Amino acid sequence: MRRIVPFVLLLVAVAVLVVQLRHHPRATTFGRAQVVRVVDGDTIRVRLDGRTERVRYIGVDTPESVKPGTPVQCYAKRAAAANAALVAGRSVRLVGDVERRDRYGRLLAYVYREPDGAFVNAQLVREGYARTLAIAPNVAHARQFAQLAQTARRSGRGLWRACGMG
47 is catalytic: no
Nearby residues of 152 by Cβ (< 8 Å), 6 or more positions away: 125, 126, 127, 128, 158, 160
**Which residue in the list 53, 56, 126, 157 is annotated as catalytic?**
56
- Strand segments, DSSP code E, in the chain are 29-38, 43-48, 51-57, 59-61, 91-95, 107-113, 131-133
Read off the amino acid at residue 119.
F
Alpha-carbon span 120 to 145, nearest angstrom = 11
**Which residue in the list 45, 93, 106, 161 is annotated as catalytic?**
106
**Which residue in the list 53, 64, 90, 131 is annotated as catalytic?**
64
56 is catalytic: yes
Helix (H, G, I), strand (E, B) or coil at 101: strand
Helix H or strand E segment including 13:
helix 4-23
Could you tell me the CA-to-CA distances from 66 to 21, 41, 58, 77 in Å, in that order?
39, 10, 18, 10
Do you know the residue count of the chain?
166
State the catalytic residues.
56, 64, 106
